[in-house]
Chains A and B, each alone.
Chain A
């Protein structure tokens, strides 16, 4: 496979497979609509929980409800997009167990594109729509002083935050080449990362925030960009440059995920039965 044509090939294959899965889900249109609305409501309860917390307090870690809503919406949109793009990669373990992964390996289509597009579920738009609604509400409520740079930062947050979650999903899946039963551990980083990033990081100890910056760079998903947009100085006194460093974190994590995935595929020896 010539590396130069690999990426467009993979994207074309991914698009084709994803469209096929969308067509499949549209066969049962009512079911699709209900499941999408259900996703919207389910994730909405998540935010309702935060609203209930605020019924008892005025500020969480020094942040108002609207500011927490900004963090919540930012993290939610990024996780939702990553989940939409390759959410089913977390079922790699069961694909290996059932032998369907072997079938994917012998098809003349880039393997990673197949795994990502498998059972592509458009109903996940429900989660994205909910997070977007919360984000929009917070922007309207906050009455920020917008500059072109801040507006660009919102797009930047979504793009690189999603990229970081994509890398985390891939790392979690690659881990399953070694232990097929332990897929749940990945949830601690994906959904756990999302839950963690919904709150202002000021509620966590400083060491934990350092770990979230340098070790598992979840803080770059929404925390640092949000500090810039909300116009707040870094409460932990970390360099202001970090607010623009999400691409670095995304790139580093993406490289790590690529290496882990490739190593996993290379050492994969089928289940033998």
Chain B
């Protein structure tokens, strides 16, 4: 299958840079430790903050570090490669190819995500597990739900990043839009502070935005805060955003195909 082959090669491409991966794991672990201690202080004061207990909070801190690169919260990944190709005009070659632009780049990004999951996802989690008392999924059912949730998180993130990248067809430079998206992603994914701590209606709002699919939903499934029907509801939430965003990408890319002017030289 073509897309599998694309994904496997994307995985291998990222696997070339071992030193970069090790440096990243180190940095993720340092931030994991800092955030853990800040959460320990918060939950030491208010043991029930946001409906989490202290092990939930610590686990959330490390899951956050694991998901940063996997779902590309700071952007990057396949969509950045495409943005560069749009700027230089190399995208003309991609449009020639007898494969869909969307599927090709989604496969690339899934391959990348898989690499980042097994390295920069797993390694900091192990560090966190050694240093702190974390909580683990309650049983095989929870594990299964979690492993359904992670790829959905990647697809939602890809959908958003792809829309940002596609803006380059019109703007030529997507830096501004990209930075704006990163700001929203950082904050509304719950990476800096869990969405459950948001006060009042801001919590409901944050929980409904697509960025909640990045970390909050998978983490709640892992922790068992979303179990049974609630967990399936979480997956449906992710799948609905994934479908809506990919649909929007499809429309935008079809328009872009008519719009694109490849500069010579």
Docked-complex contact A42 and B183, CB < 8 angstroms: yes
Q: Report the bound CA distance from A181 to B179 in whole Å.
A: 24
Smallest Cβ distance from B263 to chain A, in angstroms? 20
Docked-complex contact A199 and B41, CB < 8 angstroms: yes
Residues of B near A35 (CB, < 8 A) are 179
Docked-complex contact A203 and B179, CB < 8 angstroms: no
Main secondary structure of the interface of B (DSSP, over half): helix
- Residue B102 at the chain A interface, CB threshold 8 Å: no
Q: A38-B180, A203-B41 are in contact. Are A52 and B27 (CB under 8 A)?
A: no
Q: Contacting A53 at CB < 8 Å: which of B24, B176, B197?
A: B197
Q: Report the bound CA distance from A34 to B47 in whole Å.
A: 41
Q: Which of A52-92 contact B (CB under 8 A)?
A: 52-53, 55-61
- Residue B96 at the chain A interface, CB threshold 8 Å: no
Docked-complex contact A184 and B23, CB < 8 angstroms: yes
Which of chain B's residues has its CB closest to A184's CB?
Answer: B23
Residues of A near B193 (CB, < 8 A) are 49, 52-53
Q: How large is the interface on A (under 10, 10 to 19, 20 to 34, 35 or more residues)?
A: 35 or more
Smallest Cβ distance from B72 to chain A, in angstroms? 15
21 A-B residue pairs with CB within 8 Å: A34-B176, A45-B186, A48-B187, A49-B193, A52-B198, A53-B42, A56-B46, A56-B49, A57-B49, A60-B38, A181-B19, A182-B19, A182-B23, A184-B27, A185-B27, A192-B30, A195-B31, A203-B37, A203-B40, A203-B41, A205-B37
Chain A residues within 8 Å of B, Cβ to Cβ = 31, 34-35, 38, 41-42, 45-46, 48-49, 52-53, 55-61, 179-185, 187-188, 192, 195-196, 199, 203-205, 208
Chain B residues within 8 Å of A, Cβ to Cβ = 17-20, 22-24, 26-27, 30-31, 34, 37-38, 40-42, 45-46, 49-50, 176, 179-180, 183, 186-187, 192-193, 197-199
**CB-CB nearest 4 A-B residue pairs:** A182-B23, A185-B23, A203-B41, A188-B30
